[in-house]
Amino acid sequence: MIKFISTEDTLNVRSLVLREGLDPELCRFEGDDDQFSFHLGYFKDSILVCIASFHQQGSEGFNGMGYQLRGMATLPAYQGAGIGNQLVNFSIIYLRGQKSNYLWCNARKLAFRFYTGLGFEFISEEFDIPGIGPHRAMYLKIQ
C-alpha cells in the first residue's frame, strides 16, 4: 500500500539504504518540510519498505513546474520486486494532477537502469557527489 508519509518516516530507511547507517537525524534533506514537498512510502504488511521524497524544484533549462525526486530507497530484502516502480508511477499520476510538467532526479549510477526503465532520460554527464558516489541527472516529462 502506498501512503503519503512524513519526513520523519523517511529517515530510518534513508539511513539504512542511502547513508550506510548514518544517524537518521543526519539524513534530512534541505526542502523536506517545504510547503509543496511531499514524501511517499510503500508499506508491506505494515512495514515501511520503500520511500521517496519529492521537492518542488525546477531544473535548469526546463520550463514549467518541476519536482525533484530525492532519497528514493527500498529496503534490501524488498529490492527487485517492482515496489519502487509502483511508487514512482503513483507519484507521476499524483504530480500530473498537481499540474507539474516534469520530474527529475540525480540518479546514482546503480539506479540508472531503474530510471531508464521508467522512461527517464539522461540530462547530464556523470558527476560525483562526495561521500555518495557517481550520479547523472535524469528527466521525465509528465505533461
Tens of pLDDT, residues 32-72:
999 999 999 999 999 999 999 999 999 988 999 999 999 99
Q: What is the pLDDT of residue 23?
A: 85
| pLDDT at res. 123 | 96
C-alpha cell at 66: 518541476
Distances (CA, A) of 138 to 40, 44, 59, 116: 20, 28, 10, 9
Percentages of the chain per state (helix, strand, coil), in multiples of 5: 30, 35, 35
pLDDT at 48: 98
**Given this model, what pLDDT does residue 62 score?**
93
Question: What pLDDT shows up at residue 105?
Answer: 97
- Cα 52 to Cα 17, 32, 133, distances in angstroms: 12, 11, 19
In which residue ranges of the chain is pLDDT below 70?
none
